[in-house]
Amino acid sequence: TERTLVLIKPDGVARNLSGAILARIEAKGYSLVELKKIEATRELLEQHYEEHVGKPFYEPLVEFMLSGPVVAAIFEGHRVIEGFRSLAGTTDPTTAAPGTIRGDFGRDWGLKVQQNLVHGSDSTDSAEREIKIWFQ
């Protein structure tokens, strides 16, 4: 069955929202496969965010992701990739729909990067690639 990589970013962990976020994913019906809390490294993030290298928000994004621990999880279920991204909401938390993780828990804090609580893989190829990066 399909799998996706979910990250609870440093803002979500620091605000003690990890349990609430994981509970929403489980409540929708997806199954937890792997779970860990880790400090990312610059090398790991360079691989994870390779598609964004060179963009104006890349360096602030990496600095943000290095600012504290993250929770990495693998969830599985039919269509979990699009299902999780629907639960997460759109990238900008200010306008993400209420009812989504980003829409309910996130806002613009006036910083250089959008602190939007979660990451989810956006395709089967990226899920496979990202799971290898975060889980050995």
**Exposed/middle/buried for residue 30 (C-beta within 10 Å: 0-12, 13-18, 19+):** buried
Part of the chain binding ligand GTP (CB under 6 A), chosen from 26-34, 35-43, 75-83, 109-117: 109-117
Tokens describing residue 53: 């290298």
What does the alpha-carbon distance between residue 133 and residue 131 come to, in Å, rounded to a whole number?
A: 5
Shortest distance in whole angstroms from residue 85 CB to ligand GTP: 7
User: 79 in the Ramachandran plot: left (φ > 0), alpha (ψ -120 to 50) or beta?
Assistant: left
Contacts with ligand GTP by CB under 6 A: the residue count is 10
9 in a labelled binding site: yes
Shortest distance in whole angstroms from residue 136 CB to ligand GTP: 21
Q: Is 114 one of the binding residues for ligand GTP (CB under 6 A)?
A: yes
CB 93, CB 103: distance < 8 Å: yes
Q: Which is nearer to ligand GTP, 24 or 119 (CB)?
A: 119
| DSSP bridge pairs for 3 | 76
116 in a labelled binding site: yes
Task: Please give the residue ranges that form the binding site for ligand GTP (CB under 6 A).
Answer: 57, 61, 91, 112-114, 116, 119-120, 122
